[in-house]
Homo-oligomer: A and B are copies of this chain.
């Protein structure tokens, strides 16, 4: 779709004004506030054209115009200038990440909080799936006779643990041996690469601790089974209510329902695992409940490997340029910080 310079200016004015005010934009407003050097009548003509192209629409006859999903799309793709984040904002983010954090989870929570407070939208993270991670350490320890703790650390810094019942005859030394052998065999291997030959060879090496090995493997198995429900974090869900278009409970309901449904969120975010910034505007979203929302997503990485998705959910009337630059900077900072973990 090709637009001449003036039509672009008009569309831009409508998008910008509507994003700022949440009110349909009239031709007079544009003529007054955005000096395009033409009268409101001319703008009216342009607007009629833009409407015919489906880029803007009228809520009702005597109202101003509002960008349509396609209008926003055109704005995001062809008009909007990606502006670099202000220095102070960058500094604020960088400083926040300076705190000594050693836990992946805390880092994610931090990112979310910053993201939400700086954009006043809802922010979400789909956290690394264990099966995409690589085992860094597995350790079994005796809690008390008959009980052992299994701890697993994956490369992404994710720590999983579980207490299991074991035979009372198993000693601390036994567990150390098991830990040692499991580490020897599985360290550095992505969990999904473990195969049966390897498993049975390990099992045969540890006949005495057979029961313990089984339990440990059972736990790992469970982690694999859990693969589908990755953790989803979110922050700033309340921010939705700051948007005038969502002042009515009935309109937020479907969104809130989504936000309480981890599985649905996880599925939505999982589709956005592609690298780089993704923008889903209004009806472009597959999930019914957020057809009047926009979702901007990005991925964060460790050593070039994509670990998870981080997203911003707001109204279609979203401040795209701003949101994108913040999201981009935060995922970058997060990725860098992860490397230091």
Q: Which residues on A are within 8 Å of B, measured CB to CB?
A: 102-103, 136-137, 139, 141-144, 149, 151, 153, 157, 159, 161-164, 237-238, 241, 246-249, 252-253, 256-257, 260, 341
Contact A103 B144 (CB under 8 A): no
Assuming the A-B contacts A238-B257, A249-B249, are A102 and B164 also in contact, with contact meaning beta carbons closer than 8 angstroms in the complex?
yes
- Separation in Å of the A200 CB from the closest CB of chain B? 25
| Chain B residues in 8 Å Cβ range of A143 | 136-137, 153
Contact B157 A161 (CB under 8 A): no
CA gap between A149 and B162 in the complex, in Å: 15
- Separation in Å of the A122 CB from the closest CB of chain B? 11
CA gap between A181 and B260 in the complex, in Å: 45
CB-nearest residue of chain B relative to A139?
A: B141
* Ranked 6 nearest A-B pairs via Cβ: A139-B141, A102-B163, A137-B143, A238-B256, A159-B161, A247-B249
CA gap between A142 and B163 in the complex, in Å: 20
Contact A151 B153 (CB under 8 A): no
CA gap between A109 and B237 in the complex, in Å: 20
- Separation in Å of the A260 CB from the closest CB of chain B? 5
CA gap between A237 and B260 in the complex, in Å: 9
| Chain B residues in 8 Å Cβ range of A136 | 143-144
Residue A249 contacts which of B141, B157, B237, B248 (CB distance < 8 angstroms)? Answer: B248
CA gap between A151 and B144 in the complex, in Å: 15
Among A161, A162, A246, A247, which residue has the most Cβ atoms of chain B within 10 A?
Answer: A161
| Chain B residues in 8 Å Cβ range of A249 | 241, 246-249, 252
Contact B162 A103 (CB under 8 A): yes
CB-nearest residue of chain B relative to A144?
A: B136
Contact A151 B161 (CB under 8 A): yes
| Chain B residues in 8 Å Cβ range of A162 | 102-103
CA gap between A163 and B158 in the complex, in Å: 10
CB-nearest residue of chain B relative to A151?
A: B151
Complex A-B: 8 CB contacts under 8 Å:
A102-B164, A103-B162, A137-B142, A149-B159, A151-B151, A241-B256, A246-B249, A249-B249
